[in-house]
Amino acid sequence: MQRSLNIDPGKCTGCRQCEMACSYENEGVFNPSKSRIRVFTFDAEARFVPYTCTQCAEAWCMQACPVDAIKVNALTGAKEVLNELCVGCKVCTIACPFGTINYNASSGKVMKCDLCQGSPACASACPTQAITYVDAEWTGLDKMRAWASRTASAAAN
């Protein structure tokens, strides 16, 4: 069963614990600039939106990499950067339509979410469950049904 990150911006408080957990898990330091997840702040709306690699089915980053340094992890389904192959050309950062691949100047390589080998630190660290690691088969229709039943229950009370 494939799993994926599910992000609910409505639950995000902007605490950035996900960024800290990610940077520590992947780089060994508490430094949001080294995180593979970012929390975008919409000041006017007083809203926060965590975002990271969506592990696209047709991953443009993987297709664009001239040295085949991005491969699919058979266990997690994550598109992972193989550091030993990455030459730091940044073509994948240009190819990604979501801007979720970043260049790490200290390593000279790119970095993107790899789902922490199946145990995402960001989801574990999120105190409000704005980020959860769920069954990837939980489709948009399933989410709408869950929302509809929750809304119907609230209206009945």
Domain ranges of the chain: 3-156
Structure tokens at 33: 């600039």
The pLDDT value recorded for residue 15 is: 97
Which sign does the torsion angle of CA 47, 53, 55, 61 carry?
Answer: positive
The pLDDT value recorded for residue 3 is: 87
pTM, two decimals, is 0.83
Give the chain's residues under pLDDT 70.
1, 138-145, 147, 151-157
3-156: in CATH 3.30.70.20: yes
Structure tokens at 34: 């080294």
Amino acid identity at 99: G
The pLDDT value recorded for residue 136 is: 73
Angstrom CA distances, 89 to 61, 65, 95, 108, 110, stand at 12, 9, 12, 9, 8
Which ranges in the chain belong to alpha helices (H)? 17-27, 60-64, 91-95, 121-125, 140-156
Residue linked to tokens 């993987």: 62
